[in-house]
Structure formats: C-alpha cells, structure tokens
C-alpha cells in the first residue's frame, strides 16, 4: 500500500455516515457517554439532509416534506433528544399536496390532499359519494395495519430462528396486520375496492416516496406512508441542513468527531471479526482506524457494506449473505433544480407539494421560498442504465452528450411546470439536472437509488424483514439506515434507535416511549399538552 499509516482511534465506535440515520445512532451513543467517530464521504455531513448553494440559490437534495412533526409525536421527541431541541419545524399549507392528473392534456384535473385526522377520508367521500363503501374500507384497512405496526418491528429483535418457525407454521399474520397482505400488491388491493381510475390513483398517489409503483409493492407500505402524512407535513426552519447542523454538537460534546471527505474504502477484519476501517484510496494512500465496533450506514445493505467493503469470506458469514443476489437497489432518482426571480408571494407560489402524473411518469414538485428568491425542486425517476456509460467520468466533466441528454429530460419537466404555472416562464433564472449517477457520486447511493434497497413485496415478508436488522451476524459490525426499515427521515431516525440499542444491549425503544410520556406530561405555558 502506497502510504498506509495506522491510526488508533481512542474512542469505541466508528460510524460510517450517509444521512440522518447515521447521525441518529451516533448521537444516541454519544448521549450514553460514548465517543463516536463519524466518517462522511462528502464534504458536507448529513447525506440527503444536506443542501447545496449555487448562483445565489439554495436547494435541498433529499428532505422535501416530513410527517410526524405537527405535534409532539414520539419521533418529534426523538429528534428533540438528538438535537438538544434545536430543530424547529414549519407547517406546510393545510392542503399540503396537490395531485395533478393527465398533465399537458385537455383532460387535466386536480385534487387536493388536506391534512388532519379523518379529513382526507371525508373529502374523498364528498368527491366520490358513489364510492363511499370503497373509501371506508380502504381507510379501515390502513388503520388495521398501523394499529399493529409494532409487530412488524418486533421481527427485527426476535431471534431469526424463531421468526422462521413462526413463518413455517403460517402464524406471521398474528404478529402484525402488516403480514396479512403478504403476496398482494397495492394495485391488487385498490383494484379490488374500486374501478374508478382517479380514486385508485389517489389511494396510491404517494408511491414515489418509496420508489416502486403499485403493481410491485405492498399495500402495508402504502398504509404506513398514508398514516405518516395524515396530520399534515412540516419542513425544518432554515432548511434540511439544520438537521445535521444541530445533531453534530451532541456528538462532539461527548468527545466524538465528525470528519468530512473521509471515504471508507474497506472494513478491516481479523479472524472473522471487525477491527476498524480503512479511509482513503485502497491502492494509493490510506489510513487505518481501529475500533472494536463499526456501524455501517454506507448505503444499500448488501451492495455497499457486504459486497463492497467487507472481504467476501467474512461477508458470507452474515445471515443475509445467501439472499444478496436477489436484493436489488431501487430505481434511480432524477432531480431538476430551478431558481426563480421573485419571491413566492410575487410568483403566487405556496408551501406545498405537487404530484404530477402523465401517462408514463410521476414527478414530485416542491416549491419553497429561499430569502428573496424562490426555488423549485423536482424529484422524478430514471433508469440507471440510461447514464451508465458516463458513471466513471469526473463529476461536472462528463461531456456534451451527457449534458444534452439530461438537460433534454429536464426541459420536458420544465415545460410541465410552466404549463401548470404560466407566470413562471419568464422567471426562470437557473436550472440544473442531477441524474442517478449524480446521486451515486454524492450520496454513495448504489445505482442512484436514493431510497436504498428496492421496496418490493419480498422485502416485507417476515423472513426478509427479520434479516434486515442492526445485528449483521459479524462480530463488531452493526448496520443502520433505510435498508433496515424503510425509506424516509423518520424511519431513518428510528433505525438509529434500533442500532444504538443493539450496540448497548438495551431496549432504547422502551426508554424512548417512557421519555415521550414524560415530555407530553410536562406543562407548557401553564397547560398540559393534549396530544396523544
């Protein structure tokens, strides 16, 4: 090795960071009094929580709107704990989502998604009175899943052999309603309820939050997504970068460090156990950092950790190894970032999200104001294969053919936006397009899959769900992140609780629940909080 030095880290834990989930587990361990070293590949920590600034505009790359912060929920309590209560949240509009169908068509139509418990259900019945039975059945099924969601998490802490035994005797459905729909896709369920195409679409419109269309994923996953946003959506005041900015001091206060531009090229092992990590280029210069515990949040569960960072003979000792060939990264993301001249008020823009459906695509459009200007971030999907020929070229130097392709796609999206908002046509001051290989470069997302491993039906079987857990089966190595549970900021933070609890050999979820109850009972301005 060209310039390999050995550096002893005199803490106890190394965290390979990617997004909030990495910082969540690191902060929880720090609050337990442990020193944690967080290693971040990018020059900004937080992964999908970071922002980038260019030509006077600021753009978010991953966090667009978040459920669970309209009141003091348990996830709100968790974020308060790992950030010392420094993250503040702003509510989006009451109608926080607009769904636009057949965009660019004479038949274009629009539906609002309102916030509030039971409000959307009532609104749908008003829109589709002849479909009242289907609507009531749909929401009843959603409630059944979410009442028993603890059973889905339970398989991640039960012994794997016990979960296999439960599944063998067909008893999984008794653990959670989540498994009652095993084998039935979201499309199967909604088509069994109604033949109305617009209502079917509204039942499933938010599939873009996990990246697989209704014919390939579970109804239970959609039930979780619906409940997550039922009370509305929020956005961190100051932007998504506030989240890592407020968490890092918690880690540093305990004596830990967060280092940027520290790309881990290898997880070090000896006699089958993990001993540390190698930072830097494998063949030119690197630094070996030793610690008895390594927590990997390096992206897709199998590809980035088991297949890329570990020696194969060690990786094969993990219980997850036999199914690595069947685990696929999700579809790649394609993002368009648009800067506008004028404030949101001047341009008539609201703090809302638009889900725009054409015959062959879906885009999530977020509009928010930044200082005296406004920005739009469009999140869509594109096959990684469209861009693979340029993946090994230097970022921002991939050539005219690459730029022409991505900008042509971006222009089509801009045409849709100016069709919906004609007054924006002359206000566009800047735009850029990020492709799946952009996400792969900056976020270490395998094949540009910002949601990690594909959220297909097989992922939510009790057997697979039990294998996707913080304990890797390799001594000294733990895992956290969206592949352990689901995509999204809230579930990412909760995997940090699971992972830190596994490292500390304690039930942190139980402690979080007890803390949350005390927080709710604490008087606020002379009154008790009433949230459930």
Q: Where in the chain is the domain with CATH 3.50.50.60?
A: 3-51+248-327+454-521
Q: What is the pLDDT of residue 247?
A: 94
Of 295, 286, 283, 137, nearest in space to 203 by CA: 137
For the stretch 265-285, pLDDT in tens is: 999 999 999 999 999 876 668
**Tens digits of residue pLDDT in 457-477:** 888 888 888 999 999 999 999
Q: What is the mean pLDDT of residues 20-34?
A: 86
On the 0-12 / 13-18 / 19+ scale of CB atoms within 10 A, 296 is buried
β strands within 240-331, DSSP E: 257-259, 264-270, 273-280, 285-290, 293-296
3-51+248-327+454-521 has which fold? FAD/NAD(P)-binding domain (3.50.50)
Q: Is the pLDDT assigned to residue 231 strictly greater than 80? A: yes
pLDDT at 118: 93
Task: State the virtual CA torsion across 245, 248, 250, 255 in degrees, nearest 10.
Answer: -150
- Strand arrangement, sheet containing 264-270: 3-8, 285-290, 273-280, 264-270
pLDDT digits (tens, 9 = 90+) for 80-120: 999 999 999 999 989 999 999 998 889 999 999 999 999 99
Please give the pLDDT value at position 10. Answer: 41
CA–CA separation, 458 and 460 (whole Å): 5
- Confidence band (pLDDT; 50, 70, 90) for 442? confident
């Amino acid at each position: 090795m060209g310039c390999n030095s050995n550096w002893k880290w005199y803490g106890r834990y190394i965290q390979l960071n990617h997004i909030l989930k990495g910082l969540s587990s690191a902060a929880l361990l720090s609050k337990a009094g442990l020193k944690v070293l967080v290693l971040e590949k990018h020059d900004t920590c937080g992964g999908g929580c970071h922002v980038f600034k260019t030509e006077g505009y600021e753009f978010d790359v991953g966090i667009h709107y978040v459920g669970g912060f309209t009141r003091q929920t348990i996830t709100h309590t968790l974020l308060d704990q790992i950030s010392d209560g420094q993250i503040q949240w702003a509510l989006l509009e009451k109608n926080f989502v607009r769904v636009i169908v057949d965009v660019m068509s004479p038949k274009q139509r629009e539906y609002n998604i309102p916030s509030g418990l039971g409000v959307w259900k009532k609104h749908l019945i008003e829109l589709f009175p002849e479909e009242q039975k289907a609507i009531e059945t749909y929401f009843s099924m959603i409630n059944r899943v979410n009442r028993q969601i603890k059973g889905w998490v339970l398989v991640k802490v039960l012994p794997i052999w016990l979960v296999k035994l439960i599944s063998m005797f067909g008893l999984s459905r008794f653990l959670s309603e989540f498994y009652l729909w095993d084998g039935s896709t979201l499309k199967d369920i909604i088509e069994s309820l109604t033949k109305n195409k617009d209502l079917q679409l509204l039942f499933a419109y938010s599939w873009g939050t996990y990246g697989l269309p209704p014919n390939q994923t579970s109804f239970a996953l959609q039930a979780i997504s619906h409940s997550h946003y039922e009370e509305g959506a929020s956005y961190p005041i100051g932007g998504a970068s506030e989240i890592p900015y407020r968490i890092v001091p918690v880690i540093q206060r305990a004596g830990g460090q967060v280092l940027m531009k520290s790309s881990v090229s290898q997880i070090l092992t000896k006699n089958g156990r993990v001993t540390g990590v190698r930072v830097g280029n494998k063949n030119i210069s690197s630094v070996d950092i030793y610690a008895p515990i390594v927590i990997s949040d390096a992206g897709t569960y199998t590809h980035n950790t088991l297949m890329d960072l570990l020696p194969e003979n060690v990786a094969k000792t993990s219980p997850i190894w036999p199914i690595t060939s069947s685990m696929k990264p999700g579809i790649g993301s394609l993002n368009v970032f648009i800067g506008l001249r004028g404030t949101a008020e001047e341009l008539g823009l609201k703090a809302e999200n638009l889900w725009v459906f054409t015959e062959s695509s879906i885009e999530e459009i977020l509009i928010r104001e930044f200082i005296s200007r406004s920005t739009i971030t469009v999140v869509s999907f594109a096959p990684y294969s469209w861009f693979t020929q340029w993946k090994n070229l230097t970022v921002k130097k991939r050539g005219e053919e690459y730029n022409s392709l991505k900008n042509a796609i971006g222009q089509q999206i801009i045409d849709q936006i100016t069709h919906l908002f004609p007054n924006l046509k002359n206000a566009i001051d800047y735009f850029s397009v990020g492709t799946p290989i952009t996400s792969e470069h900056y976020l270490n997302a395998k094949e540009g899959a910002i949601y990690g491993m594909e959220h297909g039906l097989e992922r939510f079987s009790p057997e697979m769900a039990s294998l996707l857990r913080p304990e890797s089966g390799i001594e000294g190595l733990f895992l956290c992140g969206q592949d352990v549970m689901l995509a999204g900021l809230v579930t990412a933070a909760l995997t940090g609780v699971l992972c830190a609890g596994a490292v500390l050999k304690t039930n942190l979820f139980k402690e979080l629940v007890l803390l949350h109850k005390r927080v709710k009972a604490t008087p606020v301005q002379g009154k008790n909080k009433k949230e459930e």
